[in-house]
Amino acid sequence: MKQKYNILIIGGGTGGIMVAAQLKNFDRHLDIAILEPSETHWYQPAWTLVGAGTFDYKKTARPMKDLIPNGVDWIKDKVTLVAPDENLCFTEHSGQINYDYLVVAPGLVYNMDGIKGLKESLGKGVVCSNYTDPNHTWEVLQNFKGGNAVFTQPNTPIKCGGAPQKIAYLAADYFRKHPPLSKTNVIFATPGSVIFGVKDFAATLMKVIKNYGMDFLPFFSPVEIDAQNGHIYYQYLGPKLEEGPVFEKLGLKVMPDGRIQMPFDMLHLAPPQKAPDFIKESGLANETNWMQVDIHTLQHMKYPNVFGLGDVAALPTAKTGAAIRKQAPVVVKNLISIIKKNKTDFAQYEGYSSCPLVTGYGKMVLAEFKYDNVRDSDPLLSKFVDTAEETWSMWLLKKYGLPFLYWNQMMKGKM
């Protein structure tokens, strides 16, 4: 390991590996290092399917050493602080590393203190999450005996924003295929006001919810979990709370402090999420503590030799691997433009993201969109299939096509 690199990349996830691979494909002589402590790289998009018993968890992992591009140094360490005014990165064990250009792609971290009782309950009993242990989710699903199956998400940005509802649809389909569970209450409670931000896809998803007989509860923000007594508590964020038949059906109660108590017999949730602490401590964050970058060029707003992409970036679009697939080439082109030409004729990222919304076993909706929730479906794919409808072909894409493309194309900088 050297103490100075032309390009230092923080993070060996999707964004970091893609940027490194594409840079090396452009110019194999570039001096690049990746700073990443993990030994294993995970293909997390498949964890939804793992949690539903239809994908092998072991196949979502690859050794990090096999994915670091040839000619790129791997610094197996954790960043503790960046000093962007001095072009320095401080690490836990390897000292300080100097850089000319910095690419920040460390992903995000889970804030287990963001919901009271979460740390004590998650991963135990009937409280599960595909975000942390999809194998446990599958165990909970198989052992479920009926009652309230609650699926929820926090009032923070999260990676793969559709994941909490995907497993709800798969669970509803699983219960339907097992008649003793046919009277189960499947509940999707979300702080959001709608099921999905893009109207075409939202319309389809509301039909899916109706078809399964699910209960969709918008404006429900989880604030506490009492696993011992099987209750989750919500703060209602909507304009006016109206208690109707659904309250009696699901056993909901409005507490003296205004929170809503909901009983559960199974609880799946995404934990609250945030940027790593060093982003704020290094002066790279905006007012919401996510990394501050220009939403089109992905260049830091204050430090022109710093770029950010992926889940850590403060971008008004969904945090997905599909988004990173479009962000990485922009970062690479703009870095090359500065390094080789000393120009600022920047490539532009239009906010593309994609959410493969699995709606049951053998069914999927492919939601593609860009900034301002504008539908942005692939022009070639759209000639053959309406991606706003549930199709078997999109299920095949999710289960077989996307993992293949991820390992063999994206991770090698070929797309």
The yes-or-no answer on residue 160 being catalytic is: yes
Mean pLDDT of the region 294-302: 96
Query: What is the average pLDDT score of the chain?
Result: 95
Q: Say which residue, 343 or 143, is predicted with more confidence.
A: 143
Judged against a pLDDT cut of 70, whether residue 12 lies above it is answered with: yes
* Lowest-pLDDT range of 89-93, 265-269, 286-290, 386-390: 386-390
Query: Which pLDDT score is estimated for 344?
Result: 65
Q: Are 21 and 45 in contact (CB under 8 A)?
A: no
Q: Which residues contact 109 (CB under 8 A, 6 or more apart)?
A: 273, 274, 275, 276
Which of 172-181, 202-211, 322-331 has the lowest average pLDDT? Answer: 172-181
pLDDT digits (tens, 9 = 90+) for 317-369: 999 999 999 999 999 999 999 998 776 668 999 999 999 999 999 999 999 99
From the candidates 355, 358, 364, 394, which is the catalytic residue? 355
Cα–Cα dist 408/286, whole Å: 35
Is residue 27 over pLDDT 80? yes
Residue 141, pLDDT > 80, answer: yes
Could you tell me where in the chain the CATH 3.50.50.60 domains are found?
A: 4-108+275-352+400-412, 118-272
Supply the DSSP string of 103-115, one letter for each residue. EE----EE-TTSS
CATH of domain 118-272: 3.50.50.60
DSSP 178: S
Query: How many Å is the Cα radius of gyration of the chain?
Result: 22
| Mean pLDDT, rounded, for 105-112 | 97
Place of tokens 């059906």: 249
What are the pLDDT digits (tens) for 60-103?
999 999 999 999 999 999 999 999 999 999 999 999 999 999 99
The 10 Å CB-count burial string (b at 16+, else e) for 37-54 is eeeebebbbbbbbbbbbb
Q: Give the tens place of pLDDT for each residue, 219-264.
A: 999 999 999 999 999 999 999 898 889 999 999 999 999 999 999 9
CB 234, CB 259: distance < 8 Å = yes
Average pLDDT of span 408-412: 96
* Percentage of the chain modeled with pLDDT above 90: 91
Q: Determine whether 128 is an active site residue.
A: no
pLDDT band at 180 (very low <50, low <70, confident <90, very high): confident
Q: What pLDDT sits at residue 340?
A: 84
Under a CB-based contact definition with an 8 Å cutoff, are residues 237 and 201 in contact? no
Mean per-residue pLDDT for 273-280?
Answer: 98
Q: Minimal CA–CA distance to 103: which of 383, 306, 391?
A: 306
Q: Which CATH architecture has domain 4-108+275-352+400-412?
A: 3-Layer(bba) Sandwich (3.50)
CB atoms under 10 Å from CB of 388, counted, come to 22
Share of the chain above pLDDT 70, in %: 98
User: Which residue is catalytic, options 103, 126, 150, 160?
Assistant: 160
Q: Is the model more confident about 342 or about 13? A: 13
